[in-house]
Amino acid sequence: LGARIAEDPNFPAEFKGIAIGNGYMHVGMLLNSLILWSNYHGLFSLADWEILKSAECCDTSPDADNCDWSLHMTSTNGMDFIGDNSTCGKTLNLIFDESTFEDYDPYNFYQSCYTGSGESKVRKPRRANHLKRKLRKQPGKSYIHNTADIMNRDSTDPFWGYPCFDVDYVTGYLNRPEVQDAFHIDPDWRKAGLPFLDFASSNNFGKNERKRWDFRNQLAGFHQRYFSQDKNFTIDVLTVNGNQKDSLVC
């Protein structure tokens, strides 16, 4: 898309290129950045930091800001990493435990994110005790998750304050007609408010049992077959777990 815009002589701005943020462009560098970010925000103890910047763990540079801690992590696919059996690797696992980031909004770390959000009612985040049970059952699974997926949607305030600005208010703002006009959102893409119908029942379709499918030993979605009464016409539906709403593939 960036290349096509740059080649378009009619594009009004002097477009030079695109910048990609929050991308998994280099997992090792991302892990190192998360360690430094976590340390400078006080998310783990000074004792753990002393271990990580020791000569045993940080042998690539005398400056801890340039350490390559990914050398003490292992992966079977080049994307999902866990610490190895060394002291450094075990310390990294503690830091990257999913529950470490459960009570914070990584996009606005110092904000109090209040209970009552419509989003949090729709999709509650996984609690720390659930994660610990999961890790005990699956000790070989990766500790690293997309930060957008673990964004805090609950409260750091016990008094039921206002909803999180980064959830409901952003949704409301981006759905304002004047904002969508400013972003030149195609009217066909805007919220249509169409009714939700049971396609199978309304068209007298039968259906098989819905079954799950896995990818790398984790739930990836579900598949289900629908068929006409004479069974000469079938529709196979596959969902792919992703964002808050599953992608649908027919």
**Residues 120, 166: contact at Cβ < 8 Å?**
no
In this prediction, residue 51 carries a pLDDT of 92
In this prediction, residue 198 carries a pLDDT of 64
CA distances from 101 to 1, 106, 129, 182 (A): 34, 8, 13, 35
In this prediction, residue 174 carries a pLDDT of 80
In this prediction, residue 124 carries a pLDDT of 40
Own/partner long-range contacts of 195-203 (Cβ < 8 Å, ≥24 apart): 199/226, 200/226
- For the chain, how big is the Rg over CA atoms in Å? 23
d(CA 37, CA 40): 5
Q: How many CB atoms neighbour CB 92 within 10 A?
A: 28
In this prediction, residue 40 carries a pLDDT of 87
In this prediction, residue 162 carries a pLDDT of 44
What letter would DSSP give residue 110? T
Domain boundaries, the chain: 1-96, 97-193, 199-249
For the chain, list residues with pLDDT below 70: 16-25, 98-170, 191-199, 202, 242-250
